[in-house]
Amino acid sequence: MLTKLTEHNRITLPLSVTEALGPVEYFEITVEGGQVILTPIKVQRSDAVREKLAELNITEQDVADAVTWAREGSSPQS
């Protein structure tokens, strides 16, 4: 299949490709050996994020502490 890169750096995926993939909104893009590889990516919902945090033993307090630390570090100096 042939597709064109426009002057605005856009390409259109052929209908047969999008039909074969099903509903996909995001792609991971890599370049290997001069080839561009698009890998469909599903954006995780908040439940999946919570599960991952639990796997890593990161608590709500850890997150709150990290947010506080980040905000203190980005505040303007007096």
Distance CA(73)–CA(75), nearest Å, equals 6
Amino acid at 34: G
CA 71 to chain centre: 24
Is residue 73 located within the same domain as residue 63?
yes
Domain extent at residue 52: 44-78
Same domain (yes/no): 38, 48: no
pLDDT, residue 61, reads 93
Same domain for 2 and 34, yes or no, is yes
pLDDT of the residue at 58: 94
What pLDDT does 30 receive? 95
Is the pLDDT at 22 greater than 60, yes or no? yes
* pLDDT of amino acid 45: 76
pLDDT recorded at residue 55? 92
Same domain as 19, residue 4: yes
Instruction: Judge if 1 and 15 occupy the same domain.
Output: yes
pLDDT, tens digit, 9 for 90 and up, residues 23-72: 888 899 999 999 999 999 887 778 788 888 899 999 989 999 999 999 98
Shared-domain flag, residues 48 and 60: yes
Q: How many domains does the chain have?
A: 2
Check whether residue 26 and residue 1 sit in a common domain: yes
Does the predicted model carry a pTM greater than 0.75?
A: no
29 and 55 within one domain: no
